[in-house]
Chains A and B, each alone.
Chain A
Amino acid sequence: MSAFPTTRWSLIRASQQPPRDAAAAWSALVRDYRPAIVAYFRRGVLARDAEDLAQEFLLHSMQAGWWSRADADAGSFRRFLLALLKRFRLNRENTAQQRREVLVATNDSDGAHTAASAEDSPEAQFDLQFALCLTRNALAALRERYARDGRDALFAQLEPWLADAPAHGELATLAAQLEIPANTLAVQLRRMRQRLQESIRAALAELCLERVQVDADLAALRDALARGA
């Protein structure tokens, strides 16, 4: 039994899913993560065509139903997407080489990618953008949640401090404006940040089949964020 029995990713992969539903779900998913796909192609030998390649990739993936190729190994959307991208890139590079559109041989280009610094590799750039997409989606979901509870004003006031701790005295000033104790406001901010963290993890869990895969993906994304510092 999977730790996440019905995630967005497991639904796409479910064989009993009507093909049209799976296609729609896949399409929404890859469009959400398009920036990561473009970032991946930007680091290849065909970088100047990155946007076109991304578009071509998305189209092909939808027309050919690539999600149905996910085997038992594809425990996470991120990992599966990376494998598809790699195959697609090598394919395109081979074709381009045959047409003499690129000067370097494919084997050499592979070597060049490996020799490139780790943070500049297509995979690292993909992960970095993937982490940003995930954060963006989680932030939007959190904003919506606060709005639903009628606390959108509080969200707007605390949002700037999600990334950067308030400067000395700022928290106390805002607390005085809102006429609540500073401790209470600090707790509100802490909760908001924790909810964002939980929301990111939940968003990632939606793209995985197993908890251990969520941990592995999260570790990879953290690596990419740390390397890109």
Chain B
Amino acid sequence: MNPSDDADLLRLARTVLLSGSDDGVSALDALDLDDASQRRFGDYELLQRLGRGGMGVVFRARQRSLGREVALKVIASASEDAEAVARLLAEARAAAQLHHPNIVPVFEVGFVDDVHFFSMPLLRGTTLAQSLAGRRLGEAEAIALLLTLAGAVAYAHSLGLLHLDLKPANVLLDDQGRPLIGDFGLARRFDAGSGAQAGESSGTPAYMAPEQIDPRLGALSPRSDIYALGAMLHEFLTGQPPHGEGDASTLLTRALHDTVTGPRARRPALSADIDAVCRRCLQRDPWHRYASVDELAADLARCRDGNEVSVRPRRWPERAWRSLRRHPALSAAVGAALLALVFGLLGMGWQWRRAETALRTAEHERALSGARADRLHQLAGLLAASFPAAGIDDTDMRRSARDAITGLTREAGSDPAAQRELLDAFGQALRSAGKGEAVDILLAEIIRQRGDGYRREQLAALLARGDRDSLVALQLLAGNEPDAVSRDLAARGAAELLRTHAGDADALYALALGCSLGSIPCVGDEYAERLVAAAPDNAVHWILAPRDEPPARTRQRLHHAAQATQFDDHLATQVGLLRSTLDRTPPPDALRQPLLGMIEDAEILPSLQRHAIDAVPLPHYASVVALCRTDREPARDDAALRADCSAFARRALNAPGASILSRMIASAMLRRLHKGTPIEREAYEYRRQYVWLAEQVSRQQVDPDLLQSDLARYGEWEAWLRAADRSGIARSPDAAWVPKNPQSLLLSEDRGKPSR
């Protein structure tokens, strides 16, 4: 080979890089098994190459001393690290100690001619992966299979061994179809206290626990195998592992960053219990998974038997209904026993009649309540079916969410638990209809409709705390509360803020913004004046004008804004401030119960915080946009004004501190101001990129907490780009891409006309 020759080098690069990590073993393919001398391998005679695995080549071989055929796995470790080889051997020997009906036994672990090997029984059946081949199993069958595998894994754990590469391809089926877990090639010893430290990232991406990918997330432990069992359960139930299809890098990124949806999202007919069990196994944080395989097995058995699982406490009507359905004879017997008890204890006619009447009434009420529950479930299903699907513009969804929540909570009455039941049914119906994205909007609506009192309590707490960040947070949050109590709290907070932080730009910005939006009381542009005096070089500061200001004054402000060298609408700072300031007071039951219909208990507080932050107001650009419209006076005939408009918008288009709203406003302004020029093209590309991101990066893919954390650190635009990276989505569309709604790329005045 001549490495200076590109053709030779290309061939080499392809051989080494394209054939995957097991390529190192391919030299064993060079063995000529027709040659008797090359067939010899210690006590074994190599007969046939059966395949390759992550750790080596598997041969069918004859063990001469015992005259039996075996599968011989030749380990292809070329590691120079003697410690690693020693560990591998120790773990191989540990695997050889495993004697379980569902674990492939290891006959011998040895060493011939510098090569380590295992010998195992020769199983002629298929692997579970081949048997499944994308097929979905029935829920009962999937549970039974996973219970069998979990038993074997729990046994290995009890001997201090983690498998770390559990997947259907590593489950062999013998002639009777009995599953046997094999390939302990990546197995590690672990310590019950500290787990096992991860080494080089290894495993199979679709089934790897996040801590196997990134050791910073925690030590390897039985919870790592539980993750893989959950991934297998997901595949048994849906035909696909939890992170879907994709190359290794995409799957690893998804495993690290995406929130896993349960199998029910893909197969709505599955029970909520098995969905909850699977989701518990697939939690990103190991500490949120089952602590042991035994716990998982116990829940699987409960699921199989129709009993309540530990990870999803049932509401009482469901419990009663299930009990009746699963054990009608038992329920009847209990009923009869109770009657006998009543009869035996009391033994008097009038008491018996009274008891009988009470029972009949209870039965009648239950029938009524059952009919009512059926009706409400039907209603939830109908509403879900007619609920609009997600698009770029959330307006329709928000309106429908408002109507749906109002209607449903009215139907359910004032009992928060009943509201929760109904909303749970509605949420499930939406997910079944493929409209899971709507759940987030519904949450916002529930919080909006039912969270008044809670929000006011938060505002009062912020005022009571009285420090600078709490007072700024109070101004930002009060903007969404039109009631008199909130306005009063905001006014008191504003006075205090002005007294203690009169020269603080962030504080003055919060006040000026609230004043310009009319959400906090103010006189004229008192706060905006102080703000531009304190920080004149930020263009946004100049445009926080009261709503009814005359155009001539807006014109002056815009001129100042155009001179400024910075553009920062404070969104990132505000989000950071709110994330660290908002306290975590549990919400009252009137808010918590309906929310439980949509999300898990542990998600409620983070969700409330995120929704509060999402509602933080941004500047109102309407007067500036109107002033800069080139199709009308005054901008049409005023070149100096157009120059100011352009300078302002160009600063906003790609300033790191510009939120997406600011950038889109700037994009529209520039497209009007610079028609037919490269500037228009650049501004249009920004719009395209935004529409692309909004369309491709769906709410379900994004980890909302990570998004807000990125927003606080890098700004809103960059946060979305990073979210796209994490989802494996290109940051910008290619030239041929057209959005689902081409009108979304047009300027508002062009919408409704044929698109370009």
Contacts and interface: CB of A to CB of B under 8 A. Distances in A.
B32 A171 contact: yes
Interface stretch (A11-19, A24-32, A190-198): A190-198
A200 B30 contact: no
Contacts of B256: 212
B32 A172 contact: yes
A87 interface: no
Interface in B553-610: none
A171 B30 contact: yes
B10 A166 contact: no
Given A184-B113, A212-B253, A135 B11 contact: no
B27 interface: yes
Interface residues of B, number: 51
Interface in A153-196: 159-166, 168-169, 171-172, 181-184, 186-187, 189-191, 193-196
A172 B38 contact: yes
A218 interface: yes
Interface in B208-242: 213-214, 216
A67 B214 CA distance: 28
A101 B374 CA distance: 75
B113 A183 contact: yes
Contacts of A228: 10
A196 B115 CA distance: 19
A122 to B, nearest CB: 14
Contacts of A222: 17-18
A147 interface: no
A193 B27 contact: yes
A225 B13 contact: yes
A207 interface: no
Nearest to B728: A216
Contacts of A164: 11, 15
A215 B17 CA distance: 12
A82 interface: no
Nearest to A156: B1
A215 B6 contact: no
Interface in A97-131: 107, 110-111, 114-115, 128, 131
Given A140-B3, A182-B31, A190 B12 contact: no
B17 A131 contact: yes
Contacts of A198: 78
B78 A132 contact: no
A197 B32 contact: no
Interface class of chain B by DSSP: helix
A87 to B, nearest CB: 14
B248 A135 contact: no
A225 B14 contact: yes
A218 B17 contact: yes
Nearest to A166: B30
A114 B733 CA distance: 11
Nearest to B656: A71
B736 interface: yes
Interface string A209-229: 001100110110110011011
Nearest to A228: B10
B61 to A, nearest CB: 13
B13 A132 contact: yes
Interface residues of A, number: 56
Interface string B26-38: 1111111001011
Contact of B248 (A128, A162, A194, A215): A215
B685 to A, nearest CB: 10
Interface in B342-373: none
Contact of A186 (B8, B11, B30, B112): B30
A219 B253 CA distance: 13
A110 B41 CA distance: 60
A190 B252 contact: no
A140 B3 CA distance: 9
Nearest to B6: A132
Given A140-B3, A187-B115, A194-B24, A135 B16 contact: yes
Nearest to B734: A114
Interface in B31-60: 31-32, 35, 37-38, 40-41
A69 to B, nearest CB: 14
Nearest to B247: A219
A37 to B, nearest CB: 15
B693 interface: no
Contacts of B35: 172, 182
Nearest to A159: B1
A165 B13 contact: no
Contacts of B30: 161, 165-166, 171, 186, 189
Nearest to B200: A211
B16 A197 contact: yes
Contacts of A115: 735
A163 B37 CA distance: 25
A136 interface: yes
Contact of B18 (A114, A165, A196, A226): A226
Contacts of B10: 128, 132, 225, 228
A183 B38 contact: yes
A216 B249 contact: yes
Contact of A183 (B115, B201, B252): B115
A107 B681 contact: yes
Contacts of A64: none
Nearest to A213: B249
A132 B13 CA distance: 7
Interface in B243-270: 247-249, 252-253, 256
Interface of A: 1, 3, 72, 107, 110-111, 114-115, 128, 131-132, 134-136, 139-140, 159-166, 168-169, 171-172, 181-184, 186-187, 189-191, 193-198, 200, 211-212, 215-216, 218-219, 221-222, 225-226, 228-229
Given A172-B32, A193-B16, 9 more contacts: A135-B16, A163-B11, A172-B38, A190-B25, A195-B78, A200-B17, A212-B253, A215-B249, A228-B10
7 contacts: A131-B13, A163-B1, A181-B37, A183-B38, A183-B40, A194-B24, A219-B248
Closest 4 CB pairs of A and B: A194-B24, A190-B27, A191-B78, A163-B12
